[in-house]
Structure 1
């Protein structure tokens, strides 16, 4: 990841990290490569250990990550897309936006119609009318 990218922390990052680990990460560029490797591994090991400890207690684990401050756990695909969107690059955000707009169609038929050009939509509607007319015939 490019250091100039806008990198955001997730709720999990806040749960398994602390300011001491962040301070160690900030010190990495000032160390020699062997020390950078050792310190990086130590920091990641601490984060992994804290992640494991977070789920070790079954009561806490059954509530799910980061659900402690929420009244109800979001469960829809739309909620998940909204949650992951800020972490994507511009093209990934565009794909997420397209997925959300695709989900805005009320029925699968509406979603299909949104993918067709106006000419194709007109032909499709004509075919639908013909099918309805044939079904209405005795």
Structure 2
């Protein structure tokens, strides 16, 4: 199983976070709480617990997503995943699973929402590890190159 956690060393993660923080603070009014961790959810401050979480705090995931979108890399990654899933036959497997579910339940008795609810866990579980690893590697490379 491929881990989605940061595989950079702690000092590398700190460097990446620091550079991302500086870049974002220069380009916008976003501030980043240095207390947030790459590997676990943020620990709330006592003030946050009393007042509720502030809506304007940005997570590392959100920062990376913004940078991926701004650079156009997110679309490239989406295309890569689509291509790899077609190449390995995953898309055909999901199409067959959908048809089998519709056949079992009856065409008139199946909604799109139900089909999504039933097929999504199977689809996520059946994505090949090689596709996950390639995507993770590309994202890590993007993070490192964006920080330089």
Query: 1 or 2 for the larger relative contact order (CA 8 Å, sep ≥6)?
Result: 2
Q: Do the structures match in fold with TM over 0.5?
A: no
Please, what TM-score do these two structures have when normalized by structure 2?
0.28
Please, what TM-score do these two structures have when normalized by structure 1?
0.29
Larger-Rg structure? 1
